[in-house]
Chain A
Amino acid sequence: MSFEPKIVGFLCNWCSYTGADLAGTSRIQYMPNIRIIRVMCSARIDPTFVMKALVDGADGVLICGCHPGDCHYSEGNYKAMRRYPLLKKLLADFGIEDERVRLEWVSASEGQRFADLVNDMTERIRALGPSRIRGTLQIDKNER
């Protein structure tokens, strides 16, 4: 059996999750490898969420927020954008391939773009093979 990657998507409620819903209402087909977790804003996405997903068995993580300038909370996506390079640096230190984690902007009207993104990411990670980081780290649970 060919390798089917597991991808966890963290999507902001207002643009990207709505865009993913639009892909559904428009019946735009994409690969079933992604599992979406809704957060209110991309700024809520704690780097530990991404780490935890990778450690728990995700082969890739897709982070989606509103396009720059379009954030429902005016600038949350900029916060996500600034946090992202730091996270990538950390991931590189752990030996996690660059392509496994991706930050993209998807608006509420971009159902097709979301579908294309999922397909593209699925293909790339399928080519990359399973993640080796699974189960190697312990994420300290914040009790709040």
Chain B
Amino acid sequence: MKECKIGVYICNCGSNIARVIDCEAVREFVSHLPQVTIARTYRYMCSNPGQEMIAQDIKENGLDRVVVAACSPRMHERTFRNAIQTAGLNPYMLEMANIREQCSWVHKDAAAATEKAKALARAAVLRVVNHEALERMSVDMCPQTLIIGGGMAGMTAALELADANQRVYLVEKKALLGGNLGRVDLTAPYLDSARDLITERITRVRNNPNITVMLDAQVKELKGYVGNFTAAIQQNGGQQKEAVEVKIGNVVVCTGYQEFDANRITHYGYGKLPNVITSFEFELMLRAGRIQTKEGKIPQYVAIVHCVGSRSQEFHGYCSRVCCMTALKYVHEIKSAIPKCYVSDLYIDMHAFGKGHEDFYRHTLDVKTMFLMYGKNEHPVVRRADPGDDCEMFIEVDEKLSGEVIEIPADLVILMVGMETRPDSVDVARLVNISQDKEGWFIESHPKLDPVATTTDGIYIAGTCAAPKDIPDTVAQARAASARILARVARGKIDVDAVFAEIDENYCSGCRMCNELCPYSAIEFDEKKKRSHVISALCKACGACVSSCPSGAIKGRHFTDRQIYSQIEGVLL
């Protein structure tokens, strides 16, 4: 057996782990495992003192391998790899045991969870014995960036990069820039013009020589890896039929949202009652400068219904974040256009979380608005008024604050339709190889610490394609994504993972089975030697070839048979 000096570090994660798992018992258990030199518990292993403790132990005790039993490796593997590297160890001499997401957070039985944590820690110890030092490859970072989507997020990200003198390809599916914001009149809470915001962006994007705008275009294929992608972009219409190929280092996905289809809800009468309209239809009216019914009359009563498609069991469970303030904006716009109009606002909860939003809400109370609260998963019902009534429709609502069922008149009903993912977001996710959550929003690398990166290196997300958000948040994300890219471009080189497959030519029989299996065509056959070999820069380490080689000639670095075997032995405590 290999002689190793292993340090095992068991994190309490405050009480996240220690509440369920007896960390001291795990420590005691692993400290008796062969080759374990030192075993410690600590409150927060990922904190600076935690990392320094590991680094110090490496130096003082000559540790050559480290196991951290803590959260998911998806969370902090990089953190601890860097920590052991600062102490002079190869970053791949680390193994993590996931005792939080896959143990303390999912089990209540303390004894069983502690036994499981011991097994997972033991597996990590046995595995790390078989770890090998791996050297990362350094490759050039192509400074050009591809941005998918020409709305607020896409244009802002493009300008940020272009202003730093970097080349940008901005691909928009539609024939014009501006996205959904291009359909909006004024913005909340300061009632400034959305058109001014968007026109400024469009003009600057159009005039910037560093930005190539491709309208009516779609990205058909994305190949390669961070720093070295090739994108095939197909422009529809015109003479050009061939897809254009561009070299890029990074991608920002800014594909936005679509509005909820109000036809899916029947009790508001949308599609049947002509004066029940969606918020986007009302924006059109506002932009045209005249608020009126379908019959061309000035409405005496306007009702605004919140959470149409949002915060409901039946449709979308999430809050769409912008509709509450947009509804209040409508109150102001209606009141200033038709001062005598009675405006009622039917809401579930008023979400006024942003800067200036509470003040805006308060001002809306000053302009005499009737606020009516309805219950979550209940809904007001709209019906046509009878001839002789002085209004077009009535809305019946079970009002929560008064506890009474109230009927209110309306000539125009505005449905605050929520945000949802575009139906083709699944194609985008596959194109750039990122994941979607249960609602279809793109998943970020870390919801708090890394909100614009994704689990695929070199692919960033910004704006409403990641989740509903307002303009300031969208702009902040777009600029954050650009800043991340600029930081990498400034370095010029990028370290790519040292985890890839390699073929031992002494064992390769030249059967070429792996050549066909590789999804990236990363395995070449040398006709002279009659042996296959892996082009490591193209390999993405899936391991499909490793497990299918009949000669056992392929080694999946950092996921070798021996490492996984030892892990199997370890978990079967």
| Chain A residues near B (Cβ < 8 Å) | 4, 6, 8, 13-15, 17-18, 20-21, 23-25, 27-32, 35-41, 43-49, 52-53, 56-58, 69-70, 72-76, 79, 83, 107-110, 115, 139, 141-144
Contacts and interface: CB of A to CB of B under 8 A. Distances in A.
14 contacts: A18-B74, A28-B106, A29-B106, A35-B123, A37-B123, A49-B564, A53-B572, A73-B519, A79-B548, A108-B435, A109-B438, A142-B562, A143-B562, A144-B504
Judged by DSSP, the binding face of A is loop
Contacts of A43: 542-544, 547-548
A59 B543 CA distance: 26
Contacts, number: 154
Interface stretch (B24-32, B97-105, B135-143): B97-105
Interface residues of B, number: 58
A57 to B, nearest CB: 4
A107 B434 CA distance: 12
User: Could you say which of A21, A36, A37, A69 has the most chain B C-beta atoms within 10 Å of its C-beta?
Assistant: A21
Contacts of A35: 116, 119-120, 123, 571-572
Nearest to B554: A144
Given A8-B568, A24-B105, A144 B555 contact: yes
B572 A6 contact: yes
B433 interface: yes
A17 B74 contact: yes
Interface of B: 72-74, 98, 100-103, 105-109, 112-113, 115-116, 119-120, 123, 430, 433, 435-438, 443, 455, 499, 504, 507, 517, 519-520, 540-544, 546-548, 552-556, 559-562, 564-565, 567-569, 571-572
Nearest to B75: A21
Contacts of A46: 546-547, 561, 564
A144 B435 contact: no
Contact of A44 (B101, B102, B112, B542): B542
B116 A32 contact: yes
A110 B437 CA distance: 9
B541 A72 contact: no
B568 A73 contact: no
Given A43-B547, A144-B560, A32 B572 contact: no
B220 to A, nearest CB: 15
Given A32-B116, A57-B572, A40 B72 contact: no
B572 A8 contact: yes
Given A56-B569, A56-B572, A29 B107 contact: yes
A30 B109 CA distance: 10
Contacts of A107: 435
A52 to B, nearest CB: 5
Contacts of A142: 552, 561-562
A136 to B, nearest CB: 15
Contact of A21 (B102, B108, B542): B102
A40 B543 contact: yes
Contacts of B72: 17, 21, 24
Given A28-B106, A144-B562, A44 B435 contact: no
